[in-house]
Amino acid sequence: MYELLKGGWMMLPLCICSILAVAVIIERIFFFRRIGAVDLAEIILDKVENKQFDEAAEMAKTPVVPLIRILSAGINNQSNPAKAMEVAGLTELSAMRRGLPVLDTIVTLSPLLGLLGTIIGMINSFQIMALSGMGQPHAVTGGVAEALIATATGITVAVIALIPYNYFLSRIEKETENIEHYATRLEMALTPPVKE
Tell me which DSSP letter residue 62 carries.
S
Q: What pTM does this model have?
A: 0.78
Mean pLDDT: which of 44-53, 87-96, 134-143, 163-172 is highest? 163-172
Asked whether residue 179 is assigned to any structural domain, the reply reads yes
Q: What is the C-alpha to C-alpha distance for residues 54 and 56, in angstroms, rounded to an integer?
A: 5
Q: To the nearest whole number, what is the mean pLDDT of the chain?
A: 82
Asked whether residue 58 is assigned to any structural domain, the reply reads yes
Residue 147 has what pLDDT? 73
% the chain with pLDDT above 90? 28
CA atoms within 13 A on the CB side of 67: 27
Asked whether residue 195 is assigned to any structural domain, the reply reads no
> 59-113 pLDDT, tens per residue?
777 667 888 888 888 888 878 888 888 898 898 889 899 999 999 999 999 999 9
Please give the C-alpha separations between residue 174 and each of 8, 77, 151, in angstroms, as whole numbers: 42, 25, 35
Which carries the bigger pLDDT value, residue 43 or residue 104? Answer: 104
Asked whether residue 30 is assigned to any structural domain, the reply reads yes
How many structural domains compose the chain?
1
Residue 2 has what pLDDT? 47
Asked whether residue 196 is assigned to any structural domain, the reply reads no
Ranking 7-16, 35-44, 64-73 by mean pLDDT, the lowest is 35-44
Residue 76 has what pLDDT? 82
Q: What is the C-alpha to C-alpha distance for residues 125 and 191, in angstroms, rounded to an integer?
A: 73
Structural domain span for residue 49: 2-190
